[in-house]
């Protein structure tokens, strides 16, 4: 039974259970575009990945505080950049 499950799960996801490229995203309640069509909020890991795609450097810290994600990055030039992101839209504040 366990082998059957391990075989059928990826097949089901490939046939239509997963998110397809180009799929339209459901807007969050406040307007704008959501990053994830299924979840209402992005995770902290998603926020860190989002910032790392924009800025080169080492992540010093990432936390959720006061309803927003805060990420600190040390750039190769030795500067610390701070980012605040809205968990529902992924936009910088």
DSSP string, 12-53: HIIIIISPPTTPPPPPPTTSS--S-SS-SS--HHHHHHHHHH
**Tens digits of per-residue pLDDT, 48-87?**
999 999 999 999 999 999 999 999 999 999 999 999 999 9
In sequence order, what are the residues at sequence separation of 6 or more whose Cβ sits closer than 8 angstroms to the Cβ of residue 76? Answer: 56, 57
Residue 19 is predicted with a pLDDT of 46
Domains of the chain from N-terminus onward: 42-93 (3.10.450)
Give the bridge partners for 62, in sequence order. 71
Q: From CA 51, how far away is CA 63, in angstroms rounded?
A: 13
pTM of the model: 0.57
Residues composing the chain? 93
């Amino acid at each position: 039974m366990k082998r059957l499950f391990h075989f059928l799960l990826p097949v089901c996801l490939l046939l239509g259970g997963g998110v397809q490229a180009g799929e339209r995203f459901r807007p969050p309640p406040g307007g704008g575009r959501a990053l994830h069509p299924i979840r209402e909020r992005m995770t902290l890991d998603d926020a860190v990945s989002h910032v790392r795609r924009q800025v080169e450097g080492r992540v010093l810290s990432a936390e959720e505080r006061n309803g927003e994600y805060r990420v600190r990055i040390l750039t190769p030039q030795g500067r610390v950049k701070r980012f605040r992101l809205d968990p529902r839209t992924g936009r910088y504040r």
